[in-house]
Amino acid sequence: DTAVSQTPKYLVTQMGNDKSIKCEQNLGHDTMYWYKQDSKKFLKIMFSYNNKELIINETVPNRFSPKSPDKAHLNLHINSLELGDSAVYFCASSQELSRGGYTFGSGTRLTVV
């Protein structure tokens, strides 16, 4: 009965590979997000979807592509992985577009070697 679940929890892959991270929420929230947390713990928003519609698309390389098949899912696909993509990626959801507190997933630690 996890509220926001991300898979996988850990992902180790080689440079140049393509990988996906899946996120699902069972809270009935309208809005979902992807955040990146770097090695210094800095959290930066990447994308925000409201009812499957892209709302926020920060300055993120176009190798990153979010996909929201329905409002309960927001997946993140990354092409041609680079060393600098290594980070922890958090999915989150909220009832109101950024006005409600976020419920975060447990994070996916991506390591590119």
Partner 1 sequence: AQKVTQAQTEISVVEKEDVTLDCVYETRDTTYYLFWYKQPPSGELVFLIRRNSFDEQNEISGRYSWNFQKSTSSFNFTITASQVVDSAVYFCALSEATGGFKTIFGAGTRLFVKA
In this structure, how many other beta carbons lie within 10 angstroms of the beta carbon of residue 109? 15
Could you tell me which stretch among 11-19, 63-71, 75-83, 102-110 binds partner 1 (CB under 8 A)? 102-110
28 binds partner 1 (CB under 8 A): no
The Cα 32–Cα 41 span in angstroms is 21
113 binds partner 1 (CB under 8 A): no
- How many residues lie near partner 1 (CB under 8 A)? 23
The least distance separating partner 1 from the CB of residue 80, rounded to whole angstroms, comes to 27
Name the region of 98 (left: φ>0; alpha: ψ -120 to 50; beta: rest): left
111 binds partner 1 (CB under 8 A): no
